Chains A and B, each alone.
Chain A
Amino acid sequence: MASTLSTDNNRRSSIKPTASSPTPRRRKSGDRAAVLGFLAPNLAGFLLFTLVPIGASLALSLYEWPLIGEATFSGFENFVRLFTKDPVFWEVVGNTFYFVVGYVVLNLIVSLSLAVWLTSRIRFAGLFRFAFFLPVVAPMVANAVVWRLLFTPDDGLIAWATRTFTGLEAPNWLGSSEWAMPAVIIMSVWAGFGYNMIIFVAAIESVPDSLYEAAAIDGAGWWRRLLGVTLPLISPSMFFATVMTVISSLQVFAQPYILTGGGPGSSTTTLVFYLYKQGFQGYEMGYASSIAWSLFVLIMGITFLQFRAQKRWVHYA
């Protein structure tokens, strides 16, 4: 496969290739054609369907663009209105944070403990992988529809199980503004933990056995080895998973849309849901764009903070 020609690599040595060098001289014009040929399909699409829309979205956020009538330039008016006059916006941001914190914390606890468990010489790992993985791959809409049935008040499976096993009456999960968001979070954790679990299983399996042996010789028990060896060594993966999970949960939409329609009231209306309502039910395109950019700033800000904080707990070998 690989040839053993002693090629002279232009990049690594300053010696100019002589005529007898086996390396073919690269012809400039041929290269230009190659660059164009290889890059053009993707670059053209990237310009048209990624870069131009980004610019357009920025411009849009500076315009008043109702369904009927002309778009008029309004400067930062959309943002001013969003941050200071909109009665719902801050509540929506609060709802989104509520979801993110609840979802990320629960997701990490569940996925990490199952990963630790699954790597301790378990048989039928394939079967467990299937069970924990199916909700991840199944369409979120289908997952949410099923949970809508489970959450049915009084007669639903969850209400029945609560009554039978605890003797208490279950709350009206989706019908009360207090319990609707917890319901959305529980359903989402069920649907999403498998993804991070796979990441953690891979990370734990890549920890060298010799470290565990050394720890065992030093008399470290199971718990001590988990805290002293496993967790520090997989902390880079934990950091990555946390960052990605936060980013994706800031963009939650399908779960509240299907489970609660954003209600009761606006208790489960998240940022992307609000964007959808303003832009595609209220047809305020400019306003929706300013919501989208607020989401972007939030994502960037929180991610930046996480990178700042990683020195304190992430251990790079």
Chain B
Amino acid sequence: MSTITTRQIPPLLRTIGSWTSHILLILTALITLVPFVWMISTALKPSSEVFSTPPKLIGSSIQWGNFADAWNYLPFGRFMLNGVLVSALGTLLVVITSAMAAYAFSRLRWRGRNGVFLIYLGTLMIPQEVLIVPMFILMRNLGWVNSYQALIIPWAFTAFGTFLLRQFFLTLPDELEDAARIDGANRFTSFTQILLPLVRPALGTLAVFTFIGYWNSFLWPLLIVSDVNMATVPLGLNMFLGQTGNQWNLLMAASTISILPSVLMVLGLQRYLVKGIALSGLGGR
């Protein structure tokens, strides 16, 4: 542990302390990244050198072909396309219907509103696992096994999004809408033109987390999808694992491919991710 900044510490010592903590922190960050570095390193090795002693970061030759082999062995392009389709449509459904329901729960007054909202809240406590058995039977009876709608629809109407957005709508003053109504806007117009732009950060946060949730989901696709052409990325990787067994260099190439979109998400959406998580943590106050 470092000791930082009491006013009595001379500047030189403070610099040394700061350097130490930086170096330790950089080491920690590097250790955290080792599995990913090793993943890429193994993905580029000939199969005979995966377990060389001592381990080498770079093998005798760089085998870019491993990526092509992995890509051709199972349709990773298709997995990504499925993932994008399912995650984007699911996110769209969640954000739109949650925002509308949140509006009804926060800005409209109607009989039974609090009762219905309590039921919504109550279901937040129920884990997904309670739903998967009846959901599976329901999907089978609808003939939806191995379909996009089976991957999207069951999880598009959980209470979380409605709950989150209602919290935000409640912070907006009534006068905003009243003014718009006087100017002749109907409810729907004031909802889309005035309220939604004001809660844009919340919508963005909900969208990002919903998208990542769909993208990374594993248990449900494992149950409902058996057709290789309908697999999402995590499921496709699991299929690859089942079929290639110990071809570690190909397996790591496949893992690298399947992690790339997540890297882009972390880089591009970091602000939303950090905001959303921090917000949920401070919500504990």
Interface residue stretch chosen among B58-66, B67-75, B168-176, B199-207? B168-176
What is the CA–CA distance of A203 and B279 in the complex, to the nearest angstrom?
A: 9
Judged by a CB distance under 8 angstroms, whether B237 is at the interface is yes
Q: Mark A124-161, 1 if CB is under 8 A from B, else 0.
A: 00111111111101111111011101101001110010
Report how far A2 CA is from B175 CA in the complex, Å. 7
A52 to B5 CA separation, bound complex (whole angstroms): 58
User: Which B residue's beta carbon lies closest to that of A145?
Assistant: B255
Indicate whether B147 reaches chain A with its CB closer than 8 angstroms.
Answer: no
Contact B127 A42 (CB under 8 A): no
- Give chain A nearest CB distance to B146 CB in angstroms: 15
- Say yes or no: B29 contacts A236, CB within 8 Å: no
- The bracket for how many chain B residues form the interface is 35 or more
CA distance A138 to B264 in the complex (A): 10
Q: A34–B285 Cα gap in the complex (Å)? A: 34
Residues of chain B contacted by A199 (CB below 8 angstroms): 277-278, 280-281
Name the contact of B3 in the complex, choosing from A139, A221, A237 (C-beta under 8 A).
Answer: A221
Interface SS, A side: helix
Q: Give the chain A neighbours of B219 by CB distance below 8 A.
A: 253-254, 272, 276
Q: A206 — nearest CB in chain B belongs to which residue?
A: B282
Contact A139 B25 (CB under 8 A): no
Instruction: List chain A residues, Cβ under 8 A from B108.
Output: 31, 34-35, 38
Stretch at the interface among A88-96, A101-109, A113-121, A166-174: A113-121
B32 touches A280 (CB 8 A): no
Q: Is the CB of B157 within 8 A of A50?
A: yes
Given contacts A152-B51, A254-B219, contact A139 B237 (CB under 8 A): yes
Asked whether A49 is an interface residue with its Cβ less than 8 Å from the other chain, the reply is: yes
Please tell me if A262 contacts chain B, counting CB pairs below 8 Å. no
CA distance A198 to B209 in the complex (A): 15
In chain B between 222 and 277, which residues have their CB closer than 8 angstroms to a CB of chain A?
222-223, 233-235, 237-238, 241, 248, 251-252, 255, 258-259, 262-263, 265-267, 270, 273-274, 277
With contact pairs A146-B39, A160-B53, A236-B285 given, residues A134 and B263 touching in the complex (Cβ less than 8 Å): yes
Query: With A32-B110, A155-B53 given, is the CB distance from A198 to B285 under 8 Å?
Result: no
CB of A60 within 8 A of CB of B133, answer yes
Is there a chain B Cβ closer than 8 Å to A241's Cβ? Answer: yes
B126 at the interface (CB under 8 A from A): yes
> Known contacts being A216-B6, A293-B130, is A142 close to B212, with CB within 8 Å?
no
User: Are A132 and B282 closer than 8 Å at their CB atoms?
Assistant: no
**Known contacts A118-B25, A251-B128, A251-B129, A39 near B284 by CB under 8 Å:** no
Q: Say yes or no: is B47 at the interface (Cβ < 8 Å to chain A).
A: no
Give the distance in Å from the alpha carbon of A245 to the alpha carbon of B22 in the complex: 28
Instruction: Quote the shortest CB–CB distance from A219 to chain B (angstroms).
Output: 9
Q: How far is the CA of A122 from the CA of B18 in the complex (A)?
A: 8
Q: Is the CB of B162 within 8 A of A285?
A: no
Question: Would you call A160 and B55 a contact (CB within 8 A)?
Answer: yes
- Please name the residue on chain A nearest to B183 by beta carbon: A3
Contacts A138-B262, A222-B6, A254-B219 given; indicate if A272 touches B129 (C-beta within 8 A). Answer: yes
Rounded to whole angstroms, the CA-CA distance of A199 and B276 in the bound complex is: 9
6 CB contacts below 8 A, A to B, read: A34-B108, A37-B100, A39-B101, A120-B4, A140-B218, A292-B129
Task: List 6 tightest A-B contacts by C-beta distance, closest first.
Answer: A240-B284, A199-B281, A45-B157, A202-B278, A155-B51, A42-B101
16 extra interface residue pairs, beta carbon distance < 8 Å, beyond A60-B134, A280-B136: A2-B176, A34-B108, A42-B97, A46-B159, A48-B157, A53-B131, A56-B138, A133-B270, A137-B262, A138-B262, A145-B251, A146-B252, A240-B281, A272-B219, A289-B133, A300-B125
